[in-house]
Chain A
Amino acid sequence: MKDRLNQYHQNRKTPATLSRMVEKTIQKDRKNRWYRTLKRTGIGLVASFSLIILMTAHPAMAKSLQGIPLVGEAFKVISIANIYDDGSYNSTIETPVIVIESPSETAPVQEPSNQEAQVVEIVEELNSRYKEESQALYEAFMAEVEEIEANGGGHLGVDSGYDILTDDDRFFAVSRYVVNTVASSSTVKSFDTIDKENGWLLTLPSLFKDDAYLDVISQWLKDEMVRQMAEDDQVIYWVEGVNPSFVFEGIEANQDFYINKDHQLVIAFDKYLVGPGYMGLREFPLPYKLLEPHLVNPDYLNKDL
């Protein structure tokens, strides 16, 4: 009996598609892997040394430490691009550097206010974080190229850059993106918002009195998704009943967000998080009325929207 069973198992045939599926799946993961590596290393890096490099490299910023009125000034953002292209592999990594400029070169040097000093500190912190992450992205890209080469060659494209979303008296918001193109492209975004008046780098929980915002916003988003789906049948979100294996359950405490030009709070989702890939990245500006009872400071956002 045992022999017969062994014999039986040896004679089995596998579907012809098996090895192709395995190969494709590994390839698919490989192209996402370098980004995961980046996320992992990006978090662990402490940037104290590059802060010094940055400050000396950009005298305008060093100067800003000496006390220049900042509030009301638009930030200047310059970018450093690192471009690599050899036909099969190409990457453009653009790193934003936020520069706070003096209103005039002859302005008298005065002690910065607390808030101003804090803004300078935040800007430095962001600059060095951006630099570190670009560096890690570039290293991950090169390591990935090496691995693809070792496995018989292929294509890889990485494009990273930023958009200034808001820059006025009150807020400065920037989004950074990484587009990874191999077979299909995937974009990952991250956001930072500075409150210039108070000298804060905003986090989502810091805007609210307690955790109640999580449920309030999540429920509103679910309703909004259902509403948008009813309006347009091209729109699909993973709300209950659409896709049994993925259901959007709610936002995370540190969900991606920013404050837009109209001073609305906008919740953002990367591709695949709330809907199928073709829906891309999704952003939802939240109505003021919804947030009002939960805000630490009701004057923070635009009350008319």
Chain B
Amino acid sequence: MRKSMYKVFVKYLEQHQKSHYYYVLSFVAQEANALDVLQESILKGLRQIDHLKEVEKMNPWFYRIMRNTSIDFLRRSKRVTVVDFKTMETSILHEDHYEDVDLTNALKTLTREEKELVELKYGQGFTFREISQLTDLPESTVKTRTYRILNQLKQLLTLGDTEVRKS
């Protein structure tokens, strides 16, 4: 029973690694940091998986581990995180060419909490209820915030579109 839970979890980690990576990335912004934090989360998860009783709870349970590990990481590195402009520029250039550059830049204006919301809702297809459970925010707050962010992004993009008209 325990053994199989471990196996299910290993399979889950392999299958959903991209989503996990992006979720963590929404906190820590840089690739190398995201990989580190995800690795730490995986180790924590593997170590604790035997205490998980129901397979259905695996997803929210592991998202919580990733969330806590990411927040811990941010707290730890608060004093030393310096994103200089050079790294930012190269990291933008490095991302895929046919990507929506305007949106990428607009998303960069969001706060940490807002990025997490967008990631969960539009990157991972979480329901408002699931987001509310994970973030400990009331469902109504999650909804209002999401719509506010959508509006904010829309405005930023219309502004960008009229200034530099690109097809």
Q: Known contacts A29-B43, A36-B47: does B153 contact A22 (CB below 8 Å)?
A: no
Contact partner of B96 (CB less than 8 A), chosen from A4, A6, A13, A26, is: A13
- Enumerate chain B residues within 8 angstroms of A22, measured Cβ to Cβ: 13-14, 17, 38, 42
With CB as the reference atom, state the residue of chain A lying closest to B104: A8
Tell whether A18 is near chain B: CB-to-CB under 8 Å.
Answer: yes
Interface positions, chain A 1-48, Cβ under 8 Å from B, are 1-2, 4-9, 11-15, 17-19, 21-23, 25-26, 28-29, 33, 36, 40
The number of chain A residues with a CB under 8 A from chain B is 30
Query: Are B22 and A1 in contact, CB atoms less than 8 angstroms apart?
Result: no
Q: Known contacts A18-B17, A18-B18: does B76 contact A244 (CB below 8 Å)?
A: yes
CB of B71 to closest CB in A, whole Å:
14
Please indicate which of the listed interface residues A23, A26, A244 has the most CB atoms of chain B within 10 Å of its own CB: A26
Tell whether A104 is near chain B: CB-to-CB under 8 Å.
Answer: no
Q: How far is the CA of A1 from the CA of B106 in the complex (A)?
A: 12
- Enumerate chain B residues within 8 angstroms of A185, measured Cβ to Cβ: none
Query: Are B100 and A7 in contact, CB atoms less than 8 angstroms apart?
Result: yes
Q: How far is the CA of A40 from the CA of B98 in the complex (A)?
A: 52
- Enumerate chain A residues within 8 angstroms of B103, measured Cβ to Cβ: 4-5, 8
Tell whether B21 is near chain A: CB-to-CB under 8 Å.
Answer: yes
Query: Are A26 and B13 in contact, CB atoms less than 8 angstroms apart?
Result: yes
How many A-B pairs with Cβ below 8 Å?
79
B: contact size bracket:
20 to 34
Question: What sequence of 0s and 1s flags, for each residue 236-276 of chain A, a beta carbon within 8 Å of any chain B beta carbon?
Answer: 00000000110000000000000000000000000000000
Query: Are A12 and B14 in contact, CB atoms less than 8 angstroms apart?
Result: no
- Enumerate chain B residues within 8 angstroms of A11, measured Cβ to Cβ: 96, 98-100
- Contact residues of B: prevailing secondary structure: helix
Q: How far is the CA of A36 from the CA of B39 in the complex (A)?
A: 19
Query: Are B122 and A2 in contact, CB atoms less than 8 angstroms apart?
Result: yes
Query: Are A14 and B21 in contact, CB atoms less than 8 angstroms apart?
Result: yes
- Enumerate chain A residues within 8 angstroms of B46, measured Cβ to Cβ: 25-26, 29, 33
Q: How far is the CA of A9 from the CA of B47 in the complex (A)?
A: 31
Query: Are A1 and B154 in contact, CB atoms less than 8 angstroms apart?
Result: yes
Contact partner of B43 (CB less than 8 A), chosen from A8, A9, A17, A25, is: A25
CB of A51 to closest CB in B, whole Å:
28
Interface positions, chain B 139-153, Cβ under 8 Å from A, are 150, 153
- Enumerate chain B residues within 8 angstroms of A7, measured Cβ to Cβ: 100
B residues with a Cβ closer than 8 A to A are: 3, 6, 10, 13-14, 17-18, 21-22, 31, 35, 38-39, 42-43, 46-47, 50, 76, 95-96, 98-100, 103-104, 118-119, 122-123, 150, 153-154, 157
A residues with a Cβ closer than 8 A to B are: 1-2, 4-9, 11-15, 17-19, 21-23, 25-26, 28-29, 33, 36, 40, 143, 147, 244-245
Q: What are 10 A-B residue pairs whose CB atoms fall within 8 Å in the complex?
A: A1-B150, A2-B122, A4-B100, A15-B31, A19-B14, A19-B17, A22-B13, A22-B38, A22-B42, A26-B14
Given A13-B95, A17-B35, 8 more pairs with CB closer than 8 A: A2-B150, A5-B150, A7-B100, A19-B14, A25-B46, A26-B10, A26-B46, A29-B46
